[in-house]
Structure 1
């Protein structure tokens, strides 16, 4: 599995809101749709045990091992001692390669949160009423609703008590129950104040009318408790790692290389094999654009599980933009990563990092940029936003990839060198070989590592 970050969302709510039931149904639904789902459960009590006395793994730990892995065919568990409590972000970073990680709890993690509120839970009803009151008052999502309105109610009670104050000769043995409540006393509302919807709330799941009304006013989607399919669809659209078609542009005979770049030997094997093996782990569809179908026919036998599609050029003239048009028209998925076949260190991790930026920003193109300019042949393209723009440019006779990035109707998100190195610390993603000498130098460097 490629070591790329997993997108994550948190399902939060108060005690007895039904978080675990919702998460169980949501995971089953997402898995049923073909996604790889990880999960995290926040346990509020220290010292929970999954490793019991008498078990061999327990004996390993008791002997002083700080980390123990229990493995058998099809399963593995890791038990590790840590100081204090790990941040949720650290836990999610330790779970790479999932289409999505669903977290139960960790309200303050900073993750996008799905708030669940159930009418059968009095605490949820109180929160929903306070949330609606705040929404009607034009307060921003994230206001400490409960504390604010609790303070208002306290002031109202004090004003009423002052107006109805007993005469000075009231009996000294008046019942303490008649005394006003201590405004500083800790109440259940204090606990609720730390469990309110906030600026990270991206959806509400509820059967409480006030919560639904508040969600509408806050412009947050609301789902019924039993609308798990609707919630899963929302996550697919906004948070699940999107389906990606990866297109390796192999072309054909290269004049400077003196032969096909796809089949030129690299470390004893055709160069195209290296690209396939580096990129296929994150490809929901793998396409190779080539005019040498016969010479690359061996790939179907070499990689029978990948269902590699060989596609010829859509036009009989060369150019970066015609090649991009071929890639976009051949792809079935909404996101299309385009990589040149001579990029020896092409990175699956970079493709996924670009896809997460595209989800977050709504961009049509996420393109790496460095001191040399844009790198359009290790960029990610939104098929629906780019295909019409490419067609327009071709119709006016432009064959440059740069023309797509200059189109005012195309939302281009630059992916800085710093972010490239965060995704792929080894770097070298854009190194390409145009001549036998260049390829030899890259190969020698690679074999020396």
Structure 2
């Protein structure tokens, strides 16, 4: 991520019985995914009460044992937090506090509600029992929602076998999205249920699956800075706002939702200072693709120059542009497969605080441009546009000021007063 992210991380849980080899699977997957350039977070479920990541007697340990309920340990390149809580943290709550990763891999937490990857190892007797029960259930056509253990015993008129019984709470379920195993009947059972299965050693195959079905796609954010504005009397990008060029405010806001940041401008020579101010962001300054100006040509330039298929387009005069709204629109685009997610209210669409799928929208935009159309919404009837209603905008950004434009010096003064009055110099 370019900055402290507001984009939720997708997560998957690797589950199995004790000694199934979950840690080995997670370790291999993290190494492989990281080598592919993905940002991976992990969560480990520790089933026993009490653990400590600090050595007794060290300063942080002394802080906590003196009564601190939360202690942060910070060192160059590392930070850790230890907190005292009532009960046990929900996995979903933990993942919510880990935004901006391409994927979070959770070890354990079978009942988290996350999609799960089930691990079964032939050398583990408990896994062998589960595989047999799983296979019988598949052969009997039992749904993944049922209690396999009781159902297979009843259908086969069996008494419980001697020894440790199969725990019905540790079986594959409707949350199971993949199986990793070296047990042939487990592979066959998975195939009967239409669940992908991989050999225990097939880390690459598993990671291909995670990248294809679970990992977060990347997002390009494009700030449309244009050039001289007749109504403003000068370039909106460089007009002073709270003591700095307005474009810096937009960069700092939008970067919290983006993997790549592009600024479209007809004055790249005047915006080169952005690269010096934010070297870690690798901002690209791009000239308009077409000689003619207009809303639709601006969207064309944004889609044409984005590295990633998902493209957020934000106008540089939207003083209160919201990274949280961009993130919410991106989630909607990703999960629905729509071509565009565009905020809509009683005044119509807001196409310059929206997210587009370049592969779907670019051909439609090009076709409309060939017809001479300049309107931002000209291509909306040609692709699947998902309206993002005001109620959901307010859920993402309760202030609801995201679409205020500063078109004139008077607008600029008004929005600057709003920002100062509400202490809106920092957004996070």
Return the TM-score normalized by structure 2.
Answer: 0.90
1:273 is paired with a residue whose SS is: helix
Aligned counterpart, 2:217: 242
Q: How big is the shift at 1:186?
A: 10
Aligned counterpart, 1:189: 165
Listed one character per residue, the Cα deviations across residues 197-226 of structure 1 (whole Å, up to 9, x for unaligned) are 222222222222323233333333222222
Listed one character per residue, the Cα deviations across residues 124-161 of structure 1 (whole Å, up to 9, x for unaligned) are 233333334433444333332222102223xx25xxxx
Q: How big is the shift at 1:375?
A: 2.1
Listed one character per residue, the Cα deviations across residues 297-348 of structure 1 (whole Å, up to 9, x for unaligned) are 3333333333322222222223322211111111121211111111112222
1:191-340 to 2 correspondences below 5 Å: 191=167, 193-340=168-315
Equivalent pair of 1:134/1:145 in contact (CA under 8 Å): yes
Q: How big is the shift at 1:261?
A: 1.3
> Which has the greater radius of gyration?
1
Change (3 A) 1:64 1:309: closer
Aligned-residue Cα RMSD (Å) equals: 2.4
Aligned counterpart, 1:54: 57
Q: How big is the shift at 1:11?
A: 1.0
- Is 1:116 aligned to 2:119, yes or no? yes
1:40 is paired with a residue whose SS is: strand
Aligned counterpart, 1:94: 97
Q: How big is the shift at 1:3?
A: 4.0
- Is 1:374 aligned to 2:349, yes or no? yes
Equivalent pair of 1:239/1:359 in contact (CA under 8 Å): no
Aligned counterpart, 1:81: 84
Change (3 A) 1:127 1:411: farther
Aligned counterpart, 1:11: 14
Aligned counterpart, 2:415: 442
Change (3 A) 1:284 1:59: closer
Q: Is 290-299 or 239-248 further displaced after alignment?
A: 290-299
1:194 is paired with a residue whose SS is: helix
Change (3 A) 1:115 1:279: same
Q: How big is the shift at 1:52?
A: 4.2
Aligned counterpart, 1:125: 128
2:331 is paired with a residue whose SS is: helix
Equivalent pair of 2:6/2:327 in contact (CA under 8 Å): no
Change (3 A) 1:331 1:304: same
Change (3 A) 1:309 1:64: closer
Q: C-alpha separation between the residues in 1 aligned to 2:369 and 2:135?
A: 53
Listed one character per residue, the Cα deviations across residues 73-94 of structure 1 (whole Å, up to 9, x for unaligned) are 2222222111111211111122
Q: C-alpha separation between the residues in 2 aligned to 1:402 and 1:186?
A: 69
Unaligned regions of 5+ residues in structure 2, if any? 424-428
Aligned counterpart, 2:426: none
Q: How big is the shift at 1:443?
A: 0.5
Q: Which one of 136, 141, 146 corresponds to residue 144 of structure 2?
A: 141
Change (3 A) 1:187 1:258: farther
1:62-73 to 2 correspondences below 5 Å: 62-73=65-76
Q: C-alpha separation between the residues in 2 aligned to 1:378 and 1:258?
A: 24
Q: Is 102-111 or 122-131 further displaced after alignment?
A: 122-131
Q: C-alpha separation between the residues in 2 aligned to 1:306 and 1:82?
A: 37
- Is 1:414 aligned to 2:376, yes or no? no
Change (3 A) 1:139 1:402: farther
Aligned counterpart, 1:167: none
Aligned counterpart, 1:174: none
Q: How big is the shift at 1:109?
A: 0.9
Q: C-alpha separation between the residues in 1 aligned to 2:217 and 2:194?
A: 24
Change (3 A) 1:190 1:119: closer
Change (3 A) 1:340 1:368: same
Q: C-alpha separation between the residues in 1 aligned to 2:345 and 2:367?
A: 27
**How many residues in Structure 1 have an aligned counterpart in Structure 2?**
419
Change (3 A) 1:282 1:395: same
Q: How big is the shift at 1:425?
A: 4.1
Return the TM-score normalized by structure 1.
Answer: 0.86
